[in-house]
Amino acid sequence: MKSLFFGGIHPADRKELSANTELVSMMNPKQVTIPMLQHIGNPCNPLVAVGDHVKKGQKIGDGEGLCVPVHASVSGKVIAIEPRRHPSGRDILSVVIENDFQDEADTSMTAHKDYSALSNDEIIDIIRAAGIVGMGGATFATNIKAMSSMQKVDTLIANACECEPYITSDDMLLRTRTEQVLEGMRIICQLIRPERVVLAVEANKKRAIEILKKELKDDRQIELLVLPTRYPQGAEKQLIQTVTGREIAPGQLPASEACAVFNVATFAFTYRAVCLGQPVVERIVTVSGEAVKNPGNFVSRIGTSFEELVEAAGGLKENTWKVISGGPMMGFAQEDLSASTIKGTSSILCLTQEQNGEAKEETVCIRCGACVKVCPMNLQPLYLYAYEKKEKIEELNRMNLMDCIECGCCAYTCPAKLPLVERFRNGKRLIREANK
């Protein structure tokens, strides 16, 4: 460990609610709703029509440019292609499949157990064909990220920090599918050939760390690095600084400092795609919070409704106040539970009013500077807030608003409880519109 990143906070992690449970394999849902947009970039175009029979793992959507395909997570009949509710809160064109419970598998992808014989181009093509994206929530296309890192990166970092409170899906993955993660790392290493390979995990994942230490005892390629628990250490720029001491300049990407960061689940799916010939059709989802009866981790088919996942966790308690897709710091509140699991869904969080806090009217900034002390990007949120209110786009650009990672540290610390992240998202929208 080189140096701790600037700022950050230490919220109660509340991971014990789901961390001490067993991984649950969910029953097949009666139907799945597969959004055509589960990644950063262009949405997919449906490749099937209403009435078609599809197989599990069959490609049902794809597109041009910055786009990766999506696949059927069950076999059955396509009963609708229409806009449906997305975890982002928008309505997104989706393919709805009625499950026939046969799990008839598509065999168009080939398993390559000896991946050392594959060329770089072949591995890149397999990763794209499997529809792999950043599974930690960023959902950037993994094939493009890996390709852009080749011959440019000396340090590869596997991100197992999972620093948001409540979420334990990556922790569970490390404990139950350890070899998949490690082999996926080795596959990406074959592509980009880094000098240093680090698996970074926060110290609050004790069981996972024990397993990893045992698995990596004689491994000379992968270095296990246990980091102090701190939020938002899982953000890639902060993680790079902690691991290497290098700081990413404003507006730059990790490759500018010869680093690449991938989530551990992304590595696991890389292994499954290359070695098993399987596309992304399921993922581990944490269902937790004080408002759900039986918190835990569930293997969820992509397209499973949030309602079914919550019911699998025992259902909601009467005093439920809010349901969030993701974590409490960066997640999206859900208007209803009809949205479905997508590739980037790591958690469904159910909160009571006690945990959520009472809604308060927006007051005024008292210029205490607390937000400045905790901002991990070294920004000045109090001034960004003032400039956004007055729509001063030039000043927002000058103060690097676009570098804000929307981690929520400023809003968490603000004694006036100002909606800072909401304001900064709007400020970014103003900048993008002005740039057009």
Amino acid at 126: I
pLDDT of amino acid 123: 97
Q: Is residue 199 part of a domain?
A: yes
pLDDT of amino acid 398: 94
Question: Could you give the CA distance from residue 208 to residue 177 in angstroms, rounded to a whole number?
Answer: 10
List per-residue pLDDT tens for the chain, 436 residues long: 556 889 999 999 999 999 999 999 977 899 999 999 999 999 999 999 999 999 999 999 999 999 999 999 999 999 999 999 999 999 999 999 999 999 999 999 999 999 999 999 999 999 999 999 999 888 999 999 999 999 889 999 999 999 999 999 999 999 999 999 999 999 999 999 999 999 999 999 999 999 999 999 999 999 999 999 999 999 999 999 999 999 998 888 899 999 999 999 999 999 999 999 999 999 999 999 999 999 999 999 999 999 999 999 999 998 899 999 999 999 999 998 999 999 999 999 999 987 766 656 778 898 999 999 999 999 999 999 999 999 999 999 999 999 999 999 999 999 998 999 999 999 999 999 998 7
Q: Is residue 8 part of a domain?
A: no
Instruction: Choose one of 276, 302, 327: the last residue of a domain.
Output: 276
Instruction: Choose one of 355, 378, 409: the last residue of a domain.
Output: 355
Please check whether residues 288 and 413 belong to one and the same domain. Answer: no
Q: Is residue 18 part of a domain?
A: no
Q: How many domains does the chain have?
A: 3
* Residues in Cβ contact with 288 at an 8 Å cutoff, skipping those fewer than 6 apart: 14, 17, 18, 166, 167, 168, 295, 296, 313, 347, 348, 349, 350
282-288 and 91-99 beta bridge pairing: unpaired
Question: Could you give the CA distance from residue 389 to residue 300 in angstroms, rounded to a whole number?
Answer: 41
Q: Is residue 365 part of a domain?
A: no
pLDDT of amino acid 435: 87
Q: Shortest CA distance to 15 belongs to which of 175, 210, 204, 176?
A: 204
Please check whether residues 67 and 161 belong to one and the same domain. Answer: no
Question: Could you give the CA distance from residue 75 to residue 58 in angstroms, rounded to a whole number?
Answer: 9
pLDDT of amino acid 394: 94
Peptide bond before 376: cis, by omega within 30 degrees of 0? no
Q: Are residues 376 and 238 in contact, defined by beta-carbon separation less than 8 angstroms?
A: yes
Q: Is residue 5 part of a domain?
A: no
Please check whether residues 127 and 271 belong to one and the same domain. Answer: yes
Q: What is the CATH number of the domain that holds 44?
A: 3.10.20.600
Q: Is residue 364 part of a domain?
A: no
* Residues in Cβ contact with 100 at an 8 Å cutoff, skipping those fewer than 6 apart: 74, 75, 76, 77
Q: Shortest CA distance to 171 belongs to which of 210, 128, 130, 118?
A: 210
Neighbour tally for 30: CB within 10 Å: 12
Instruction: Choose one of 231, 247, 276: the last residue of a domain.
Output: 276
Please check whether residues 253 and 287 belong to one and the same domain. Answer: no
Please check whether residues 270 and 312 belong to one and the same domain. Answer: no
Q: Are residues 205 and 224 in contact, defined by beta-carbon separation less than 8 angstroms?
A: no
Question: Could you give the CA distance from residue 68 to residue 226 in angstroms, rounded to a whole number?
Answer: 33
* Predicted model pTM: 0.95
Please check whether residues 260 and 164 belong to one and the same domain. Answer: yes
Please check whether residues 60 and 196 belong to one and the same domain. Answer: no
| DSSP sequence for 354-376 | HHH-------------HHHHH-T
Residue 184, domain extent: 115-276
Residue 403 DSSP code: G
- Locate tokens 């293997």: which residue? 299
Please check whether residues 143 and 226 belong to one and the same domain. Answer: yes
Q: What is the CATH number of the domain that holds 122?
A: 3.40.50.11540
Using DSSP's 3-state secondary structure scheme, residue 331 falls into coil
Please check whether residues 45 and 79 belong to one and the same domain. Answer: yes
Q: Is residue 15 part of a domain?
A: no
* Residues in Cβ contact with 20 at an 8 Å cutoff, skipping those fewer than 6 apart: none
Using DSSP's 3-state secondary structure scheme, residue 115 falls into helix
